[in-house]
Amino acid sequence: MRSLFVISAAILAASIAPAAQAAPMTYGCDTAAGRFSAIEVELPGAGLVVSGTITPNEFRKDAQWAPGAWVRIETGDGQNSAEVRFISVAKAKEGALTLGGKVAGAERKGDPQLAAIGKPFAFSIQVLGPSEVLVAAGSQKAKLPAAMGDKVKLTVACSTGDFVFSDLEWKSAP
């Protein structure tokens, strides 16, 4: 009983810490076929930097859901966003890494880059100014003219597979 109290207190203390000052963490996102898992956090938008590494370990088969992992920041109304997305392709040993987002409700996607299962790739999403976001992953970089505003929702998620988000952190740039 005492250990349950200590664990509960530790979880409560971690949840009270300022969300914009999170220390690097590892998120093992391992889901069954046809399922997803996500971390969602509301953060200040100005100067936000989200970074880490994604390692796709295993894809699972499902008739309707494609295996994938993504990191996205978006405005409360969903009209502006920036994301890094990794989705499996027909071959079970690789996936397509894509940078994209929404600008005033219109979707924008870069050219997909193939990435192998089992090999980590670094990513970052950085709010550069009131209406500019830099998204990078693998060997790709893209600037989006997306207005993020004062607050954004950060989503780190996966579906239908085993993905590890390492050195995952979000912070406000000085």
Residue boundaries of the structural domains of the chain: 22-172
CA distance 137 to 13: 32
Q: Could you tell me how many helices (H) and strands (E) the chain has, helices first?
A: 1, 13
Residues 111-160 pLDDT 10s:
999 888 899 999 999 999 989 999 999 899 999 999 999 999 999 999 99
pLDDT digits (tens, 9 = 90+) for 58-105: 999 999 999 999 999 999 999 999 999 999 986 667 899 999 999 999
CATH class of 22-172: mainly beta
E runs forming strands in 22-131: 25-30, 36-44, 48-59, 68-74, 81-88, 94-103, 106-109, 113-116, 121-129
Tell me if 129 sits within 8 A of 147, measured CB to CB: no
pTM of the model: 0.85
